[in-house]
Structure 1
C-alpha cells in the first residue's frame, strides 16, 4: 500500500470511529432508550435477576447463559445467539418470531427508532464494572 493510500485508509478509519462514537453517545437517544427500557422493568433489571435475567454483562454474552439465572427456555439456550446490536435488533423486534419457543412472552419493540435507542442505552448501561456487576 502506498503512503498516500495508507493515509487515506487511516483517515477513513478515524472518521468512522468518530462517527460511531458520536452516534452511540447521543444523549437524547440514550435518554429515550432509558425511558423505553422502563417497559422492560417488570421482568428485567440491569443489576439483578427478576422474572427475566439481569442485563448486566449482556454485550457479547451467549443467550441463555446469565450467571445465576435458571428460567431460560430450551429454545433460547439452544439458539446460539450472542448478544450484540444486530442480534438484539432482531430479537427485540419480535422475540417469539426470532426464537420460537422462547419464554419471553413480549410482543416486541416494533418501532425501529425506539429499538435503536433502547439498544444504544442497553449497550452503555449493561457494561460490567461501569454501571453494574454481573451475577448479583
Structure 2
C-alpha cells in the first residue's frame, strides 16, 4: 500500500513540474515583466490590479484600497505556491468572474519562476 501511495505522489509531482521544481527568482523577474502593466511588487502600489507585495500567505481579495470583483472577494483562497500555480495557469478558470483579463501562463517553469520572484520580492 505504501509503495502505491509513493508511486502516486511521485506521479503527481511529475505531472506538475511547477510544484516539483524550485523556481528561479531571477528568471521570474523576467516573467513578471508581463504582469507589470497591471501589478506592482511595491507595498501599497495598486494599479489595474492589486499590489503583489506579500502575496504569499495572503487571503484573496484583501489588499486595502483595491476594488476587487465579487468573485475574487468571495474566492476564499490563501495564496501559496500551489494556489498561485493553479490560478496563474488560467485565472478565469480558477476564479470565474475575476476582473483579471490575463489569459494565463501555460508554461509550468514560467509559473514556478514567477512564484519564486514574488516570494523573493516580498522579502525586500
Q: With structure 1 as the length reference, what TM-score do the two structures score? A: 0.71
CA distance in 1, matches of 2:120, 2:26: 11
CA distance in 2, matches of 1:92, 1:118: 9
Aligned position for 1:95: 91
Number of aligned residues:
102
CA distance in 2, matches of 1:106, 1:83: 18
How far the C-alpha of 1:78 sits from its partner, in A, is 0.3
Aligned position for 2:73: 77
Q: Per-residue CA shift, 1:75-133, capped at 9, x if unaligned?
A: 01101001100000000000000000000011001000111011111111123xxx2xx
How far the C-alpha of 1:36 sits from its partner, in A, is 0.2
CA root-mean-square deviation: 1.3
Structure possessing the higher relative contact order (Cα contacts under 8 Å, 6 or more residues apart): 2
**Rg larger in structure:** 1
Segments of 4+ moved more than 2 angstroms: none
What are the residue-to-residue correspondences of 1:48-127 with 2, within 5 Å?
Answer: 48-70=45-67, 72-127=68-123
